[in-house]
Amino acid sequence: MAKERRRAVLELLQRPGNARCADCGAPDPDWASYTLGVFICLSCSGIHRNIPQISKVKSVRLDAWDEAQVEFMASHGNEAARATFESKVPSFYYRPTFSDCQLLREQWIRAKYERQEFIIPEKQEPYSAGYREGFLWKRGRDNGQFLSRKFVLTEREGALKYFNRNDAKEPKAVMKIEHLNATFQPAKIGHPHGLQVTYLKDNSTRNIFIYHEDGKEIVDWFNALRAARFHYLQVAFPGASDADLVPKLSRNYLKEGYMEKTGPKQTEGFRKRWFTMDDRRLMYFKDPLDAFARGEVFIGSKESGYTVLEGLPPSTQGHHWPHGITIVTPDRKFLFTCETELDRREWVEAFQKVVDRPMLPQEYAVEAHFKHKP
């Protein structure tokens, strides 16, 4: 009997919607919450275990199932759960995937089942109200210390601001929602709730690094920033559908890591730098947590004369790392080296993706503005 019940549960995995984790979309889930009636992956099952008052989990393949549990799973399943627990997810709300950090997945699962934010819209107030203020730990630009700073997000002004002192009348910085991006960077920042916020200042990229001890709080900030960007874009592009706008709300970097680079004359030695590929901007920093990039390279499309080549020109000297990459632009060549062949392959792939993508009209304007920095 036990074998038959387990086989019955395994058969339920063949139903539409059950072949991927109900929470992060990972393929081939082999765990289940037998109190919620959903099939989930191993990673999400660990998060479900932390909310035992809501969710109790079992292995589909290894644990014993009783008749009532099998029937419950059969009468529920991932699609039914989605119809209930995700019935009112705002368009701008970030739905994490299995490649996202633990924090985003955990808060998504808690928001769905524990707090029921997508059944009761009033619970979405913290990120949908268009205004938010609070204290976040912010890394100092020069000393690298994290200090508590007051942040204010106001959709009406289209800005995120922070203040150096609680009684300060004027903000230390005003970041326009129009040019703002936020992405979780726990490993880089050294905190599981670390968020990197990037904005443009005089057409240069400025980074700030923040976190909050409370996971819900920082994810609410992240979704509030996405909501503000969503409403800004709805006004800026009145004919666009939600599906067009949602990918523009925030973006993860295409690739980050160390390479060596040389200057425009290609006679000075190569220096090790931290590189971030953000859409068409390749930025380089002395340190991964620097506030400003040392320089930025715009990478256009092949139609506009941009090419990515493996290797370096034969006469190149002064590099320590053996695996070279040359980026040819209409103005000049940029030379980089990677420590390993795998690094080079990943960077070339990231560059190639950008070069293969035709440029949008507004990207020509960015290219024109772009100041190539040596």
How far is residue 206 CA from its own chain's centroid?
A: 17
Instruction: Please tell me the chain's helix, strand, coil percentages from 3-state DSSP, rounded to the nearest 5.
Output: 30, 25, 40
- The verdict on 143 and 36 lying in the same domain is no
Tokens of 39: 């099939």
pLDDT band of residue 9 (cuts 50, 70, 90) is confident
Residue that is last in its domain, among 228, 248, 268: 248
Q: How much is the pLDDT for 239?
A: 92
Q: Do residue 136 and residue 159 come from a single domain?
A: yes
The pLDDT score that the predictor gives to residue 191 is: 97
Over range 228-252, report the average pLDDT: 94
User: For 216-226, how does the pLDDT look when each residue is reduced to its tens digit (9 = 90+)?
Assistant: 999 999 999 99
76 and 179 inside one domain: no
Half-sphere exposure of 267 (CA within 13 A, CB side): 1
Pairing of strands 173-176, 333-338: unpaired
Instruction: Give me the chain's average pLDDT, please.
Output: 93
We report the CATH number of the domain holding residue 40 as 1.10.220.150
Q: Which domain holds residue 9?
A: 1-86
How confident is the model over 96-124, as pLDDT tens digits?
Answer: 999 999 999 999 999 999 999 999 999 99
Residue 277 lies in a domain: yes
Task: For residues 135 and 207, state if they share a domain.
Answer: yes
CA–CA distance, 20 with 44 (Å, rounded to integer): 12
The per-residue pLDDT for 372 is 46
User: What CATH number is given to the structural domain containing 281?
Assistant: 2.30.29.30
In a domain, residue 103? The reply is no
Query: Would you call 315 exposed, middle or buried from its count of C-beta atoms within 10 A (0-12, 13-18, 19+)?
Result: exposed
**360 pLDDT tier (thresholds 50, 70, 90):** confident
Strand arrangement of the beta sheet that strand 204-211 belongs to:
173-176, 159-163, 146-154, 131-139, 204-211, 195-201, 181-184
Of 205, 371, 372, 184, which Cα lies nearest the Cα of 292?
205
Q: How confident is the model at residue 373 (pLDDT cuts 50, 70, 90)?
A: very low
318 within 8 A of 269, measured Cβ to Cβ: yes
User: What DSSP string runs through 21-70?
Assistant: -TTT--BS--EEETTTTEEE-HHHHHHHHT-TTT--EEETTTS---HHHH
Domain presence at residue 15: yes
Domain tally for the chain? 3
- Last residue of some domain: 233, 248, 263? 248
Q: What are phi and psi of 148, to 5 degrees?
A: -75, 125
